[in-house]
Structure 1
Amino acid sequence: MNLIAVDKYKLLFCVIPKSGASSWKYLLMKLSSNSTEIKGGAHDPEVLNSHKITSMKKGDTVWDVAKRYKDYHKVISVRHPLDRIISAYRDKMLDHPERPMSRSPIKTMLKRRKSAKITIDDPRFANIPTWEEFVWFVTHTPARDPHWRKYYDLCHPCVIEYDSIAKMETLESDVEHVLDQIGAPAITIGHTNESKGKNLNKTSTDYLKDINTTGSMDVLWNHFSKDADIFGYSFSPENLKTICEIKDSEGRCC
């Protein structure tokens, strides 16, 4: 269960990694505890609990879950699925090659493929899969890691009737809307977890071009197309651009 509750404002938030989750958690901790600064990681349950954020767990009673579901304002935050998976690769593979996640189970899976060739010049990245190998892993193995699990598996948008859908593309205005809906004071959301590693000059289009000639692009898009359809995202194969289909009155993604 990926829901966290802010009882002070009767809000339920579904956590989707690489879709503004850290920024939202820091904002909600500030609101719930009236703190101006948050010490500790946004994903640490003890830190969340100390700032009056409740992580919903499988062991919670049906009454606890049902009451919050009925009475609370339910929020989900998303971004274009292709931008999200690119962000996951850059953050979890390139930015942190020292972490076990960068080597296993992905490295183990790739070793089973005769075509696996992990060749990044810097010796620190010797065990890091290439972008195309990462795409193969994500699209051909069961998704256990939440950083690349599908939205409908993590937050069940076809079952839970969310009151607000926030998007990374319009994060500031969407945060303003949610805070207004729950009667919380206006507060600016900060941006966290911005990539600091290699290839910062590469855009999403650059990454998609890298896999377009091998057929991996079609496989990747098909893998996440349901998430895209649910939240109004599309993809242009002609120019390899990620697109938002649902626009507000000012022509922005909404």
Structure 2
Amino acid sequence: MAPPGSKADMQQFNVLPKQYPHTDSQVGKYVQRLSTIKDSRKKAAILNNATTKFMFVRHPLTRILSAYRDKIADKADDQRFRKSYLRKNPKLGKISTSVSFVQFLNHVLGTLTEQLEMHWARMVDVCNPCVINYDFVGKHESMRDDSAELLRRTGLAESIDFPVRNATYKKATSSDDVTLMRTYYKQVPLDLARQLHAKYEADFLLFNYTFPYELFA
């Protein structure tokens, strides 16, 4: 908690080591992660009793690509996850070899929806918006504005500032996202694209995202 008359120091989250869970160690013992609650009814009951319920979403295709680059690609940032996941899913590929983006997409499509790993699972399954009555749904693409609006609505704008990236951080822009999407998805056959659209259709419809067929081969 911030001292009276001051704002909480949210910049602490910019100096955490890579792969560090972004939960303040001082409050961790008082916080229960919803991801640890497997019973969807119990999860819904807890959230529906909360004062303010909110979630943030991201374009499904951007999210899938981000998960691949961070967790599965041969130069993935999270090598620990990559090794663990490939050991459990040897049909996807070997730890010593590269897993192409198309291979990864075929793996996703071949996995039952309810068994998808949470980093690329559908948001409708991860956050249960059809069961939980959320007060606010923000988007990754407009994170700063949406976060400011959320803080305003909850009366926290005077005590919390949304953290600003360190000066050394290369700011990703919407054009960067588009370039990455074009680079990776142009390798993907149109038939595979249609299957992706079908599998994640609920996310596209519920969160008002369009499917960019023009990106595909």
Same fold (TM over 0.5): yes
Amino acid in structure 2 at the alignment position of 1:93:
I
Task: Say which structure is richer in strand.
Answer: 1
CA distance in 1 between partners of 2:161 and 2:198 (Å): 38
CA deviation after TM superposition for structure 1 residue 104, in Å: 1.3
Deviation digits for residues 128-170 of structure 1 (CA, Å, limit 9, x no counterpart):
3100000011111133421011111111111111111110111
CA distance in 2 between partners of 1:176 and 1:133 (Å): 39
The runs of 5 or more residues in structure 2 that have no matched partner are 2-6, 172-176
Deviation digits for residues 107-139 of structure 1 (CA, Å, limit 9, x no counterpart):
51236xxxxxx8xxxxxx842310000001111
CA distance in 1 between partners of 2:21 and 2:198 (Å): 30
Contact 2:108 2:116 in 1 (8 A): no
Is the alpha carbon distance of 1:176 and 1:164 closer, same or farther for their aligned partners in structure 2, counting shifts above 3 Å? same
Contact 1:106 1:129 in 2 (8 A): no
Q: TM-score, normalised by structure 2?
A: 0.70
Contact 1:150 1:224 in 2 (8 A): yes
Amino acid in structure 2 at the alignment position of 1:96:
D
The runs of 5 or more residues in structure 1 that have no matched partner are 1-7, 9-30, 112-117, 119-124, 242-254
* CA RMSD, 1 decimal: 3.9
CA deviation after TM superposition for structure 1 residue 35, in Å: 5.9
CA deviation after TM superposition for structure 1 residue 219, in Å: 1.5
CA distance in 1 between partners of 2:80 and 2:145 (Å): 35
| Residue of structure 2 equivalent to 1:80 | 59
CA distance in 2 between partners of 1:63 and 1:236 (Å): 37
Q: Which residues of 2 match residues 33-52 of structure 1 at below 5 A? A: 36-38=11-13, 40=16, 43=21, 47=25, 49-50=27-28
Deviation digits for residues 6-64 of structure 1 (CA, Å, limit 9, x no counterpart):
xx8xxxxxxxxxxxxxxxxxxxxxx8x7565246565266837348544244399x999
| Residue of structure 2 equivalent to 1:227 | 203
Amino acid in structure 2 at the alignment position of 1:148:
W
Secondary structure of 2:53 counterpart? strand
| Residue of structure 2 equivalent to 1:178 | 150
- Higher RCO, Cα 8 Å, sep 6+: 2
Amino acid in structure 2 at the alignment position of 1:221:
H
Which runs of 4 or more aligned residues in structure 1 lie more than 6 Å from their structure 2 counterparts after TM superposition?
Answer: 62-65, 192-195
Contact 2:109 2:195 in 1 (8 A): yes
CA deviation after TM superposition for structure 1 residue 206, in Å: 2.3
CA deviation after TM superposition for structure 1 residue 209, in Å: 1.2
Secondary structure of 1:76 counterpart? strand
1:136 aligns with 2:106: yes
| Residue of structure 1 equivalent to 2:80 | 99
1:167 aligns with 2:156: no
Instruction: Identify the match of residue 189 of structure 2 among 202, 209, 212.
Output: 212
Deviates most, 129-138 or 182-191: 182-191
Q: TM-score, normalised by structure 1?
A: 0.61
